[in-house]
Amino acid sequence: MLKRKALETEPSSGNVFADLGLAGADEQFIKAGLVVKISRTLRQRHLTQAAAAQLMGIDQPKVSAMLAGQFRGYSVARLMRFLVALGHDVEIVVKPRKRGVAELRVA
């Protein structure tokens, strides 16, 4: 009978980009959250990538690439403008942290 080795685990920081040691991890985490919101909006509104591209002012292949995780070329501000173009209000809230380490997040 084969013995199974215990898997080594490491607790996550909550930011996969930081966990992987990538440069600009906080910014990439925020961008990923914004792209998730864009993706959910397209599904909820039953928009095709072509229709979404027209609303956002980009071409369909760029929408496809962004939804596939290729969003490094977009600034946080541009991704927020895409959400506005898709009918969302975008609000930036700055407040004192309650406990622990201050964080960046997309709610």
DSSP 67: H
pLDDT above 70 (res 105)? yes
User: 29 and 15 in contact (C-beta within 8 Å)?
Assistant: yes
Domain 23-107 has CATH 3.40.50.1820: no
Band (102; pLDDT cuts 50, 70, 90): confident
pLDDT, tens digit, for every residue of 57-92? 999 999 999 999 999 899 999 999 999 999 999 999
Q: What confidence tier does 7 reach under pLDDT thresholds 50, 70, 90?
A: confident
More confident residue, 54 or 106: 54
Per DSSP, the residues of 72-93 read TTS-HHHHHHHHHHTT------
- Is pTM beyond 0.85? Reply is no
3-state secondary structure (DSSP) of residue 12: coil
So what's the pLDDT on residue 1?
61
Q: Using one digit for the tens of pLDDT, what is the confidence trace for 12-32?
A: 888 888 888 889 889 999 999
Query: How far is it, in rounded angstroms, from Cα 23 to Cα 8?
Result: 25
- Backbone region of residue 46 per phi and psi (left: phi > 0; alpha: psi in -120 to 50; beta: other values): left
- Looking at residue 6, its pLDDT comes to 80
Residue 100 CA to residue 27 CA, distance in Å, equals 20
- Whole-angstrom Cα distance, residue 30 to residue 99? 20
